Amino acid sequence: MSTRKLFLKQNLISLTGLLFFPGIIKSHLSNPVKNMENEKLDPEVVKDFVGNCHGNFTRVKELYLQNPRLIFASHDWGSGDFENGIEAAGHTGHKEIADFLLEKGARVNFFTLCMLGKTDAVKAILKDFPQMVNTKGPHGFTPLHHAIQGGVASAEIKKILESLGAKEDKILL
């Protein structure tokens, strides 16, 4: 078969597919977020996001708008010290950032609950998992550290943790 005939035949087949299956083509092209699902996040962007969750709320919102999947990403600071945005906001006491991330679907964790002053949730976890009282979080910060960062809202949690034997606010990595 000549090159010209082969070219025409292949294009006719492609056009037929577009005519009979336009929904498949349209949905694939019109949903860029879905198309990104299998792409790996750039580690430098993840580092930027997590780093800014330590206190730069404006930048956190900008990065979130560029790629909402960042709320699930963790940065590896080395030596097994992984941290995601909600954890960064938690150990620095940035409630506004933590609330924003939670509103957008970030995964809540024990440390952030301590910082946010979620007493009932913290009590329930400690009842079932008492060893969590002195567990090590990002950068070695303990639940007690997070409760201290939460200030007045977390004062009751601080007392509960101390009554259960919490003394250290940081455990060396």
Q: How many CA atoms lie within 13 A of 111 on its CB side?
A: 28
Looking at domain 110-173, its CATH architecture is Alpha Horseshoe (1.25)
Residues with Cβ within 8 Å of 3's Cβ and at least 6 positions away in sequence, in order, are none
Given a cut of 60, whether residue 22 has pLDDT beyond it is: no
Q: Which residues pair with 75 in a beta bridge?
A: 83
pTM above 0.85, yes or no: no
Closest CA to 150 of 14, 36, 141: 141
Q: What per-residue confidence (pLDDT) applies to 171?
A: 84
Q: How confident is the model at residue 31 (pLDDT cuts 50, 70, 90)?
A: very low
The residue-averaged pLDDT of 64-84 equals 97
Given a cut of 80, whether residue 35 has pLDDT beyond it is: no
